Amino acid sequence: MVSRFVLRPAPVGDPAALLALHTTQRGECCNHFTWPMFRDLAEQSKSFSGVAAYNELIPASIGGSGEPERAWGQSATVNFFDVLKMPMAVGRGFVLGEERLPVVVLGYGLWERRFGADPLIAGKTMTLSGRPFTVVGVAPRAFHGLDQILYTQFWVPTHVTDVLVPNTSNFESRDYNWLGVTARLRPGFTREQAAAELRVIAQRVEIAGELIVPMWNVRRVKEMLRSQILYRFGQQGFARFQAEIDLRFPHQLAGLFL
């Protein structure tokens, strides 16, 4: 289970620079972000070259030829695939201007099974829960999302979430935590510098309980299995500590590695 869900390398560029951002509540990790909290970090941080958000589980019915089938996907900000630096199997990821458009990136398995691995799928229309969506790309075979325990089959833009699952998104509330967040360190910046900057941002916008978890390159797994360095934000700022990892519980590792 550890090998399948945790140690499988993901096809992202420079995985050592990719971080998972989480919030803590009452000292407990790891919780999601609100949209305003995500926007504060994305707009004010200089340590990251990109910050992206995603909703982990979006159910939909796949229509078209053949019997309808249930699939599980995610909604993501349009810079999601750019932040991951992910080469696509077909087509592209999302681009600016598509935030509210019915466009979709297919998972490789869904593309193979449902669409016969059509190399010309980009630009064609498919049906998600009875609504037409334009396919813009296909993710690489090895990528099923950042949480590798999940098997994500498609991605749509964040602002399209409620088209498929009404009343799921909330872009105003600071109490509605519904977004996973990932960020890429800007070249020349360290995790320590990013942590210090986030402390300043937190003081400015009164964000409480931020946590950054390094998503380490799989090549470094062997030397890091016994402990991980986390940066934990609290009322006293960021404190560094080591967390022991128990390999009997792979879900504890799933968010730490790509």
> Higher confidence at residue 210 or residue 186?
186
Q: Say yes or no to pLDDT of 222 above 60.
A: no
Mean pLDDT, the chain, rounded, equals 76
Q: What pLDDT digit, counting tens, does each position of 59-90 carry?
A: 999 976 678 889 999 999 999 999 999 999 99
| Token couple for 57 | 């589980």
The model carries a pTM of 0.77
| Token couple for 40 | 């504060």
| Token couple for 14 | 């420079």
The domain locations on the chain are 13-52+177-252, 54-164
Handedness of CA 160, 161, 165, 167 (dihedral sign): negative
Q: Say yes or no to pLDDT of 252 above 60.
A: no
Q: Say yes or no to pLDDT of 254 above 90.
A: no
* Predicted pLDDT at 88: 96
Confidence of residue 5 (pLDDT cuts 50, 70, 90): very low
CA 137/CA 191 separation, integer angstroms:
32
Comparing CA positions, the residue from 103, 47, 49, 50 lying closest to residue 75 is: 103
Q: Say yes or no to pLDDT of 108 above 90.
A: yes
Give the chain's largest Cα–Cα span: 58
Comparing CA positions, the residue from 245, 170, 235 lying closest to residue 213 is: 245
Tell me the average pLDDT across 227-240.
Answer: 29
